[in-house]
Amino acid sequence: MGDDGARSARAALDDGVARALDLALDEARGQEQPPARLCLRLARLHADAGDAAGALRWCAAVVDAGEDLASWTAASAVLARVLPEVGPLPRSARVAVLGSSTTSQLAALLPLALARAGVAAEVYESGYGQYQQEVLDPTSGLHRFGPDVVVVVPDETQLHLPEHSDEPVAAVDAEVERWSRLWHRVRAATGARVVQLTVPVPVDQALGHLGLRVAGSRYRMRLLLDLRLADAAAQAGVALVDCGRLAARVGADRWSDARLWHVAKQAVGLSVVPLLARHVAAVVAAELGRGRKCLVLDLDGTVWGGVLGEDGLGGIALGDGPAGEAFAAFQEYALALEARGVVLAVCSKNDEELVREAFRVHPGMRLTLERIAVLSAGWDDKPAQLRRIAQVLGLGLDALVLVDDNPVEREAVRQLVPEVDVVCLPPDPADYVRALADYPWFEAPALTQDDRRRTEQYRARAEVAALQESASSLDDFYRSLVMAARVVEVDDLVLPRVAQLVGKTNQFNLTGRRRGLAELRALAGDPAWEVLAVRLSDRFTDHGVVGVLLLEQRGGALHVDTWLMSCRVIGRTLEDEMLGLVLAAAGERGCDEVVGSYVPSRRNGLVAGLYERLGFSRAGAGAPGPGPGGPAQDGTARWVLRVAGARAGRGFIEVQDERRRPVRAGAGGREGAHG
């Protein structure tokens, strides 16, 4: 075929793809959640049409469209085809799957599920049953792969517990210790975060119901093992995927298939592998800082039954009767999410005064205004209100999740602000809790005291934004906040929050280094290092630990390994005070200079000029590049500040060091310890 013939054939093919795509899109219209096979077809057609971004979007839709293994598998292939053509996703990660049984299906589906969370994943799978050997062998594929995250997938045969023990507690403790050693070895060998899948307790018990009463039975030891393993994981900073809960959700008969085990050593039934992949991805994404943060609630038909503006306060269904109890239960579930760190907001087309009155006086209300970070009630369209909510909270739209009973509103949000996740509520309010509970992307790597107060902190942030608008000058605004910073001891209570910030902070993060809990604990005890955690409070709230510095002394220089701040307090001048802490640490150690690095990423352009603004000078060789400091060829710009004569602090924040090292407050600037 000549060139003309090839072009004609190509044009005919393109026309065919375009027609097929139009037909598929027409079929998808009118279906709020198209079935997985239609999503797959649309992904393929977008890929054939050269629209890689569209293909990626429909591949991700497959993840939300059920658990059809064939569709997931095919969508994974489409994803592998188009991902190189799409711009970089918010995060990338190398994920290793170490299993004791067949894990090929899970490993194949993880990139698809992680792409749904905005993570471009490269996945490595260990040899069958080789999970321990690969960790111990420094020449193994695991070591060469260099994972960021290691997912450990054991099966029941790998739990070394006897059928009966005269010392059941000791037997369980020994098993916990064995797994703890494996986690330690994984970290020592790879430096990766560890995600461990638990093994559901088998329902086939020879002792029957008696097994629960026999102290030394394997059944009782298995129940105890899950609890002890969870305690050890929490202490070690290892994330868990609670497969027992997933198995209970789908039923034991569906979770595992004895025939598959005997034929292929497949421990998990094929029909639930997509579900497992989705939840493993949610936990991994949380470890990588890609969990969703804010639940946005519609009101009429979602938080209460009826329409407030038409039915009046006494006409809405809430608290009494089957429907009223269902709405109350949904509110209580939202409060439970808030208690674990999910920020609550309201987005409603309603009269704001009526809404506030309903919150204040309706006896059936479980939610209170104090638990709502932003209440947006008015007549603007929902996409516009969601954008304002994100702006006030200082969150990206991709941190928001909307629940709304109105399918038209849901579709408007999907089309106009596709970054916002939308939970599809069923018609019966009795099913609302289950619909929200099945949404997996609110996972978090830990639950700290600061997480429990997150809505309060974000609500204070909204009040600060209002105060800023009314201030006559920026300096007056800063003074009116009455800010105080406290440097706190990095102990077992604070360390999880430090690890959380290191794991997820993107914007104000100079180097983007992601260190896990165990590594941070080791650095905190290393005399060559300083691990500083800074709390900030103002007249509205205590924001908790919002700043972290990891400093390493090398000879006469103090190197800033990590410098990050929560987006909640960006623009408060805290970074100026943190420089004072760096200078104080350098002075105490007899260091003459502070060395900092800026490693550019897609999301930390905010701090590209930080070192220059704080008085650092560019150091080292490297071809100047765009931006302040002229990034070297490897993308990293190094900066140096002589301690003698260096000044820090702008005097708007009172600083207290609650460790052993007092730092005097900066009133108009603070000199370095050698100054």
Domain boundaries, the chain: 10-86, 88-290, 294-450, 476-621+633-657
Residue identified by tokens 């991709």 is 398
- In DSSP notation, 649-674 reads --SSEEEEE-SS------SS-EE-TT
Label residue 628 by pLDDT band (50, 70, 90).
very low
| Cα distances (angstroms) measured from residue 546 to each of 424, 520, 543, 563, 648 | 34, 16, 7, 11, 19
Q: Whole-angstrom Cα distance, residue 503 to residue 493?
A: 17
3-state secondary structure of 333: helix
Candidates 56, 475, 503, 109; CA nearest to 280 is 109
CATH number of 88-290: 3.40.50.1110
Tens of pLDDT, residues 478-497? 888 899 999 998 988 898 88
Residue-level pLDDT at 670: 44
Please tell me the predicted confidence (pLDDT) of residue 406: 93
pTM, entire model: 0.77
The CA distance from 256 to 263, in Å, is 13
Q: What is the mean pLDDT of residues 238-266?
A: 94
Buried b / exposed e along 472-506 (16+ C-beta atoms within 10 A): eeeeebbebbebbbbbbebeeebbbbbbbbbbbbb
Residue 219's pLDDT band, with cuts at 50, 70 and 90, is very high
pLDDT tier at 40, thresholds 50, 70, 90: very high
Per-residue pLDDT reduced to its tens digit, 583-610: 999 999 999 999 999 998 877 888 999 9
Q: Which fold has domain 476-621+633-657?
A: Aminopeptidase (3.40.630)
pLDDT digits (tens, 9 = 90+) for 347-391: 999 999 999 999 999 999 999 999 999 999 999 999 999 999 999
- What topology is assigned to 294-450 in CATH? Rossmann fold (3.40.50)
What is the reported pLDDT for 11?
Answer: 62
Counting Cβ atoms within 10 Å, is residue 666 exposed (0-12), middle (13-18) or buried (19+)?
buried
**What does the alpha-carbon distance between residue 191 and residue 456 come to, in Å, rounded to a whole number?**
35
Confidence tier at 662 by pLDDT (50, 70, 90): very low
Amino acid at 387: R
The one-letter amino acid at 300: D
Residue 109 structure tokens? 């589906």
pLDDT of residue 492: 84
pLDDT at site 8: 61
Average pLDDT over residues 527-532: 94
The domains spanning 88-290 and 476-621+633-657 adopt the same CATH topology: no
3-class secondary-structure state, position 557: strand
Question: Which tokens sit at 471?
Answer: 């201030």
> Per residue in 185-217, pLDDT tens?
999 888 899 999 999 999 999 999 999 999 999
Digit-coded pLDDT (tens) for 255-300: 999 999 999 999 999 999 999 999 999 999 999 989 999 999 999 9
Share above pLDDT 90 across residues of the chain, in percent, rounded to a whole number: 71
Residue 308, both tokens: 């407030």
If one compares 314 and 624, the residue with the highest pLDDT of the two is: 314
Question: Among 41-50, 222-231, 389-398, which is the least confidently predicted range?
Answer: 389-398
Instruction: Say what the pLDDT of residue 496 is.
Output: 86
**Which residues make Cβ contacts (< 8 Å) with residue 299, sequence separation at least 6?**
308, 346, 348, 350, 355, 358, 377
Q: How far is CA 290 from CA 90, 182, 556, in A?
A: 8, 26, 38
b (16+ CB within 10 A) / e for 37-61: bbbbbbbbbbbbeebbebbbbbbbb
Under 8 Å between Cβ of 562 and 542 = no
> How many residues are there in the chain?
675
Confidence of residue 9 (pLDDT cuts 50, 70, 90): low
| Span 629-657, average pLDDT | 80
> What is the model's pLDDT at position 653?
94
What pLDDT score does 673 carry?
37
Average pLDDT over residues 496-519: 87
Distance from chain centroid for Cα 469: 31
CA 136/CA 185 separation, integer angstroms: 8
Question: What is the structure's pLDDT at 326?
Answer: 97
Question: Mean pLDDT throughout 148-170?
Answer: 96
Q: In the predicted model, is pLDDT for residue 634 greater than 70?
A: no
Query: Has residue 523 got a pLDDT over 70?
Result: yes
pLDDT on residue 6: 54
Instruction: Give the mean pLDDT of 114-137.
Output: 93
Contact call for residues 595 and 559 (beta carbons, < 8 A): yes
What SS3 state is found at 309?
Answer: helix
- Averaged over 565-578, what is the pLDDT? 89
177: number of Cβ within 10 Å = 12
pLDDT given for residue 661 in this prediction: 54
**Whole-number average pLDDT of the chain:** 89
